[in-house]
Structure formats: structure tokens, C-alpha cells
Structure 1
Amino acid sequence: MTAMTTAERRGYQQICGPDGAMMVIAADQRGGMRQALTSDPAEQKTISNAMLGETKADITRYLASVAGCILVDPLCAVPMLVDDGVLDRQTALLIGLDASGWDTSAEDYRVSVMCEGITARRVRELGGTGGKIMIYLRSDTPAANVENLATLDAVVADFAAEDMLLVVEFLTYQLEGESKEDYKARTAELIEGGSRLCLEHGAKLLKIPYPGSAEACAAITRLSGIVPWAVLSAGVDHQTFLGQVEIAMANGASGVIAGRSLWKDCISLDRAVTRERLTTIAVPRLREIQAVIARHRVAAAA
């Protein structure tokens, strides 16, 4: 494990709140956001990147201003959020490098795809505090990870050359022919194994799925050592995620990077509806998550 440089640590401090914990609003989704805006597949196809950008702008105004950091994509959201003055000067900005969806190899493994031309230098040019990469991993199947780990290596090296903060996220997935029951039984093992791979390949800050239990969270904390880790929401409902945050924070997590659990049922093609729901539903949810984080940060400092 490698410690953050001074510049990386400064970036990390900026994506954290005054208590030193991460509370980042994830709004870098494209396909998932279209599905949240409408359940009609035909209508989803009519939602342009510009329309997604407007939704992301509302999420930034109403949620990120409360949380302190927003994670967005470089296709719909920036530089507009900066150039149009949507992003508050005190709100940190993470920019996602990964494209929506994935390619599939001849062996039916998921191959992560990055947005073309989005390098560490470009993230800096767009006003980013740091970048975020997401790759797919199956730690029990080395052949599934070759291309994705090569992508990770290249991105880690690029951000190191620019001395810029990089959040490394991974998702695991069910293999072709694997039963849902077998996959579920291995999830904790796969999350720990994926975390280990990311650490071995230079990750200094992890964004990972909820490992499944207090014991699994504690294992991630022991494994990651000096590397902070944040739990992602993966689209579960708010009450479920709130319980996951409680367990993760009690067992060494350094914060939260959450998206759909906060806003998936709050956004609408009618922006007036979106703004009302973000204010009356999403912000109170965010406050509840912040209260859990704050309680555990106080306990850890005591």
C-alpha cells in the first residue's frame, strides 16, 4: 500500500467534510439515470445528454451543496456545472472516467470501458478535484481481470504523473452459468478479493460495494490499512443503505459515495417535480446518512 502524496491528500481533504469523512453524491450514471427518469424504454432513448446534464445540475444544486462533493461524468455534466456557476465554490468535484455499460469478451467476461480522451490532465482542465475509475473484477477468476487491471494500471500511472487524486471503484458480477445462489454466497469473498487486487495495483482510495456484514467490513479495513474506503449504495433503498452505512462506519469505513439510494425516486422529466422531491425527500435522506457518519466519527475520535 502506498500513502497519498501531499497533493493527493489535499484533494482527499476537499472531498471530505469538516469531520474528515467522505460524503460524496454520485451522479455519474447515464443509463441508470435514464431508467430512473422513465420506465418506458422508448422514452429513455429520447433523453439526451443535455437533458441528463440538467438533472445532474439539479442534483448538484440541491444535494451536493449539502454534502460537499459531487461525482459526475464528463459527457453530460462538465464543464457546464462549472462554467454555468451551478457548482458552489466550496463543493468538491470528482469526474468519472468510465463509460456507461461494458463490453463483453469472447469468454463472456465484462470488460470495462473508459470515456475517450478523459485523462488526469483533462480532469484538471475541467476543474476536477480528482477522478474516479470503475472496473469490473472477479477476484476468483484471474482471466476475467486481465484487461480491466491493465486499464487500471494505465489510469493509476496517469494520475500519479499528474499528482492527482484518484478514486478506484470496482464492481463484481455474476458469471455466465453461475447460479444466483452461488454468486450471492461468494459476494463477501469477491468484494474482499477485488479490494485486494485494487490495492495491489496502486489504489490509494477505494469505493466499494457493501461487503455484506460487520465482519466483512472489518476485514476490508484490516486489508486496506492506510487506504481509506467508502461504501457505495448500489441502488438499494434508503433504509437498507442507512443500515449498511451504520455497519460500515462502525467497522472502519471512511465515508460514503452514494447516488441512486438518495435520488433514484426523486428525479423526473419534469424538473419542477425533481427539485421539489430533492428538497423534501433526498435532502432529509442525506441528513440521516450524515448523522450516522458524524456519530461514528465522534466515537472514533473519543
Structure 2
Amino acid sequence: MNELNTLERRGLQSICTPDGNMLIVAADQRNGMKAAIKDAPQGSDAISREELAEVKADLVRHLANNAPAILLDPEVALPAIVDAGVLARNTALVVGLDASGFATEDGLKYTRYVDGVTPRTVRDFGGTVAKMLFYTRPDRQGESSRVAQEIRDLVTACEAEGVLLIVELLTYQLADETAEEYAVAFSQLVIDGAALAVACGAKILKLQYPGSAEACAAVTDVAQGVPWAVLSAGVDHETFIGQVSTAVAHGAAGAMAGRSLWKDSLSINAATREELLTGRALPRLRELADAVDGRRH
């Protein structure tokens, strides 16, 4: 197991339920969150940065302040949500380091950092935990690959700063691969990606649901004690609850949920937002908390 240092242990505690399982509301999306605001008069493309910032602030006020932790971006949400006192004192801040979109090289995807954002910036924003997304194809990328070195470098940099790093992995279909071929390979790609990240020093993993109870158990095995959480990947709430329950029963340590909680609970109108977030999204968060703590059967 990749051992946590003292500061990292405190960071992990801050993003967990009282029962010790990870539960983070993900709200670092930018274009994806705009697309979820269906009632914008001129369409999502016309939503300004300021309007999106207000949506994110309300999402924190009415939803995420009821969770152990919130994942926010440093382009729209931060530092304003902290400076304005919107974030509750008992809700931990996870800072997303990855910029929107990706670069492509030799047919493989690579994420980019938000300009000027480093592990030190996480501290400056009031966070103790960082999250970075890495696209992985472990059938093409081994421990000597560019992505493996990028993971190692960021793990080292965050450890030196006393910031806990959540390594998020997304696998994807290649241009020369059919949908059927990718579907067959998917579970093993998630499993092998987890193994690669752990070999590169990752201490916390955020992973796609690998597809089955058996695949979840395999992820737990290759993680070698490194805690892993399931990401919602835009599926509906009931589907995600089932995935989380299965994953937790087979070794997962929690969940990080974004769109499954709030994708149908956003509005350009503040009063409507509050009504939807408190009446629709918040009950989902409570159900998800039961699932990550193994109380939902």
C-alpha cells in the first residue's frame, strides 16, 4: 500500500462520512454544468462566467454543504466561494487541477492543468485535497509512459506540499477501435489503469464503475489497500446508487458524485435552483451517503 503521511491522513478524514467512507459532491464541471441548465433564455452557450459562478455557489449552499466535501474548480468557483463565506466550515474543499478538454498525441488523450494552478495553489484556496484527471489506456501505456510519469510527478509534488491527491482515471475508446471492442475491453482497462496508478504512487483513486461485482473485487485487489471511490459518469441517480452499493460491497471506499445528483436540479433562476436542489438533489445525496456507508440493500 502507498502509505499516507500525517497531513494526507487528515485530508482523507475530511472527505469522509463519520463512518469513514469517502463522499464528495463534484461540481468542478464547467461546460458540462452549463449544459445542465436547460432553462437559460439564450441557451447554455450564453451563460456567462458570473452566472455559472452563482449556480455553483447555490449548489454549495443548498447541496454540498450537507456533504463531507465538495470538489470545485479554480477557474469559475474559486476563490470566490470560499472568500464569500458560502462554503460551510464542516465541508472540506477539494480543488480540481485539470482544465477542460484534452490534448491528443499519437492517438492518446492527455489532460492539461488549469494555468497557474499547482499543489501550493490548493493551499492558497483553502483546500487540503487536490484532484487531477488522467486519461489512461493501460494496454498502450505502461510504467515508463508519459502518463505514468505525470502521475508520479504530481504525487510527489502534492506530498511535498502536504496536500492529499485524488488520482482520477478515465479510460476511453481509441479511434481505431470499434464500440464493441471497447465494451469488451472496458472492465480490464479500469482494473489495469488502477494497477498502473498504484504502481506510480497514487494514494487515493477515483474510478469509473468497472461493470460488475467481480470487476470491483479485482480493482480492490490490484489497489493493494489504496482506497478507491466510484465516479458517477453522468448516469442517473438510481443506477449510480446500485453501482455504489455493489462497489462498496466489494471493497470500494466511497463515491464522488456530480451529475447523478444535480444534473436535473439546476436553473438560471435562483429561486427555482434552491427548490430543485433542496427538494430533489439533497434527498439523493442522503441516499448516496447510506450507500457509501453500506446501509442500503
Which residue of structure 2 lines up, in the alignment, with residue 19 of structure 1? 19
Counterpart mapping for 1:241-260 below 5 A: 241-260=240-259
The residue type paired with residue 80 of structure 2 is M
Which residue of structure 1 lines up, in the alignment, with residue 206 of structure 2? 207
Shift of 1:56: 1.2
C-alpha separation between the residues in 2 aligned to 1:160 and 1:18?
25
Which residue of structure 1 lines up, in the alignment, with residue 3 of structure 2? 3
Which residue of structure 1 lines up, in the alignment, with residue 50 of structure 2? 50
Aligned length: 296
Counterpart mapping for 1:154-169 below 5 A: 154-169=153-168
- Give yes or no for contact 2:39–2:268 (8 Å, CA) kept in 1: no
Which residue of structure 2 lines up, in the alignment, with residue 139 of structure 1? 138
- SS in structure 2 opposite 1:239? helix
Shift of 1:17: 1.3
Q: Deviations over 1:219-274 (max 9, x none)?
A: 11111122111000000011110110110111111111110000011112222222
Q: Deviations over 1:134-179 (max 9, x none)?
A: 0100011128x93333332221121011121110001000000211
The residue type paired with residue 165 of structure 1 is L
C-alpha separation between the residues in 2 aligned to 1:147 and 1:295?
37
Change (3 A) 1:231 1:98: same
The residue type paired with residue 19 of structure 2 is D
- Give yes or no for contact 1:112–1:148 (8 Å, CA) kept in 2: no
Which residue of structure 2 lines up, in the alignment, with residue 37 of structure 1? 37
C-alpha separation between the residues in 1 aligned to 2:39 and 2:190?
30
Residue 229 of structure 2 corresponds to residue 230 of structure 1:
yes
The residue type paired with residue 26 of structure 2 is A
Which residue of structure 1 lines up, in the alignment, with residue 263 of structure 2? 264
C-alpha separation between the residues in 1 aligned to 2:148 and 2:50?
32
C-alpha separation between the residues in 2 aligned to 1:8 and 1:68?
16
List, as ranges, runs of 4+ consecutive aligned residues in structure 1 with deviation greater than 6 Å: none
Which residue of structure 1 lines up, in the alignment, with residue 83 of structure 2? 83
Shift of 1:296: 5.0
Shift of 1:192: 0.4
- Give yes or no for contact 1:49–1:75 (8 Å, CA) kept in 2: no
The residue type paired with residue 264 of structure 2 is D
TM-score normalised to structure 2 length: 0.95
C-alpha separation between the residues in 2 aligned to 1:152 and 1:51?
34
C-alpha separation between the residues in 2 aligned to 1:31 and 1:170?
20
The residue type paired with residue 273 of structure 2 is T
Which residue of structure 1 lines up, in the alignment, with residue 59 of structure 2? 59
- Give yes or no for contact 2:248–2:294 (8 Å, CA) kept in 1: no
The residue type paired with residue 80 of structure 1 is A
C-alpha separation between the residues in 2 aligned to 1:78 and 1:285?
25
Q: Which runs of 5+ in 2 are unaligned?
A: none
Relative to its length, the structure with more helix (as a share) is 1
Shift of 1:189: 0.2
Change (3 A) 1:296 1:250: farther
C-alpha separation between the residues in 1 aligned to 2:135 and 2:48?
26
- SS in structure 2 opposite 1:32? helix
Which residue of structure 2 lines up, in the alignment, with residue 286 of structure 1? 285
C-alpha separation between the residues in 1 aligned to 2:86 and 2:11?
20
C-alpha separation between the residues in 1 aligned to 2:147 and 2:268?
35
- SS in structure 1 opposite 2:43? helix
- Give yes or no for contact 1:111–1:147 (8 Å, CA) kept in 2: no
- Give yes or no for contact 2:167–2:206 (8 Å, CA) kept in 1: yes
Q: RMSD between aligned alpha carbons?
A: 1.9
TM-score normalised to structure 1 length: 0.93
